[in-house]
């Protein structure tokens, strides 16, 4: 049908009437997952599984995930079977977020080589302002496209020396699970992709929505992006004492004073043994972990209750409202009141534009 400039089609008039009557629902956030040759099936499936678990209060999906390829043709996974995409490069051009899982079939990228022409053309078709995400060695694709130059990023720890040599302009930090640099986010290998997807849900819709998605996927709801990757750490001997029970106990007593001595006493270890064991198991110190758990509880209380900020701080074990404000601004770049305004209610509404360090954002801090 030929459209005359300045006129309105029947569909547009219908939409306008629906908008006037408040009937138009916000469309789901569109995510395109770029499947490249040699893609591992696990990482390819992470976005569909995690984001597909997020719904609003009426049961409507908040994300629409489409698996695509650079030319619309099937690609061979590294598991030996073929992936049939739902779309071609047009999905990248229409997406609000583009996610690039790893690829094990582009060795030229490990030497800093260029992207294959069809992949480069597909990347070039992404609209400005689109959120860009890589999982594991998907960072090589973003780096080869020049999209990580001068920016902080991460990848699988085992690839760090190779990556750093191939892309010296990237500010690589291989010691963290993921890096949130606002409109560009990168994760470490394999399960860190799950952490990053949950972090994005938390940033978009708050902790309650991310926690529900985590429960549906039967995974831990939160691991801080600044938490260390588990690099060449031996698996603890089963005969050795563990801090697992003490961590579970601490989560039930966050409002109480929890000194290092009290935690070690509960674990029936010396202070030195407990601290060393805790770091081996969790990747951070007991104090860092405890602060992170208290902040997570505070965010949940801000989302789901109308308790005064001082009482939220008390129930989360962070003392006063002033202490909570300092901790939240340091960790997330936002005040408790602003966080509640953005994510209060059912935890599934779009948050305010909080910037790169918005609610839940976890940039590594040194």
pLDDT digits (tens, 9 = 90+) for 110-127: 999 999 999 999 999 999
Average pLDDT taken over every residue of the chain: 84
Which of residues 205 and 6 earns the better pLDDT score?
A: 205
Question: What is the torsional sign of CA 295, 299, 301, 302?
Answer: positive
Task: Report pLDDT for 284.
Answer: 86
**Of 207, 174, 195, 147, whose CA–CA distance to 332 is shortest?**
207
pLDDT tens string 210-267:
888 988 888 876 665 555 554 444 444 444 568 989 999 999 999 999 999 999 999 9
Residue 31 has pLDDT above 60, yes or no: yes
pLDDT of 74 over the 90 cut: yes
Task: Give the residue with greater pLDDT, 18 vs 69.
Answer: 69
Residue 357: the pLDDT is 34
| Cα Rg of the chain, angstroms | 22
pLDDT of residue 105 exceeding 60, the answer is yes
Task: Give the pLDDT confidence of 112-166 residue by residue, as tens digits.
Answer: 999 999 999 999 999 999 999 999 999 999 999 999 999 999 999 999 999 999 9
Both tokens assigned to 350: 């779009």
The whole-number pLDDT of residue 64 equals 97
Between the ranges 85-94, 182-191, 234-243, where is the mean pLDDT highest? 85-94
Closest CA relative to residue 213, chosen from 205, 353, 229: 205
Taking the complete model, does pTM exceed 0.85, yes or no?
A: no
Segment 287-292 shows an average pLDDT of: 93
Q: 3-state class of 136 per DSSP?
A: coil
Alpha carbon distance 25, 135 (integer Å): 31
Q: Determine the pLDDT at residue 345.
A: 59
């Amino acid at each position: 049908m030929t459209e005359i400039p300045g006129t309105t089609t029947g569909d547009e008039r219908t939409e306008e009437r629906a908008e006037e009557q408040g009937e138009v629902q916000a469309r789901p956030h569109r995510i395109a997952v770029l499947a490249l040759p040699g893609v591992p099936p696990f990482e390819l499936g992470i976005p569909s599984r995690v984001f597909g678990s997020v719904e609003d209060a009426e049961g409507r999906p908040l994300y629409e995930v489409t698996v695509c390829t650079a030319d619309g043709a099937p690609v061979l996974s590294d598991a030996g079977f073929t992936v049939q995409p739902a779309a071609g490069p047009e999905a990248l051009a229409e997406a609000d977020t583009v996610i690039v899982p790893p690829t094990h079939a582009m060795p030229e990228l490990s030497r800093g080589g260029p992207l294959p022409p069809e992949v480069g053309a597909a990347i070039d078709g992404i609209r400005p302002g689109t959120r860009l995400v890589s999982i594991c060695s998907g960072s090589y694709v973003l780096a080869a496209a020049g999209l990580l130059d001068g920016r902080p990023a991460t990848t699988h720890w085992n690839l760090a020396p190779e990556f750093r040599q191939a892309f010296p302009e990237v500010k690589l930090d291989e010691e963290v699970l993921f890096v949130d640099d606002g409109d560009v986010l990168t994760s470490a290998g394999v399960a860190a992709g799950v952490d990053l997807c949950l972090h994005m849900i938390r940033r978009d819709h708050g902790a309650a929505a991310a926690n529900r998605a985590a429960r549906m996927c039967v995974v831990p709801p939160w691991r801080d992006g600044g938490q260390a990757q588990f690099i060449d750490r031996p698996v603890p001997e089963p005969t050795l004492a563990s801090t697992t029970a003490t961590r579970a106990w601490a989560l039930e007593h966050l409002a109480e004073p929890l000194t290092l001595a009290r935690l070690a006493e509960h674990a029936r270890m010396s202070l030195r043994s407990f601290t060393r064991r805790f770091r081996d198991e969790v990747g951070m110190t007991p104090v860092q972990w405890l602060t992170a758990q208290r902040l997570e509880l505070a965010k949940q209380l801000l989302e789901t209750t109308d308790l005064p900020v001082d009482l939220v701080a008390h129930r989360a074990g962070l003392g006063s409202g002033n202490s909570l404000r300092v901790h939240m601004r340091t960790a997330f770049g936002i005040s408790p009141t602003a966080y509640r305004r953005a994510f209060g209610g059912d935890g599934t509404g779009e948050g305010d534009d909080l910037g790169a360090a918005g609610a839940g954002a976890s940039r590594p801090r040194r």
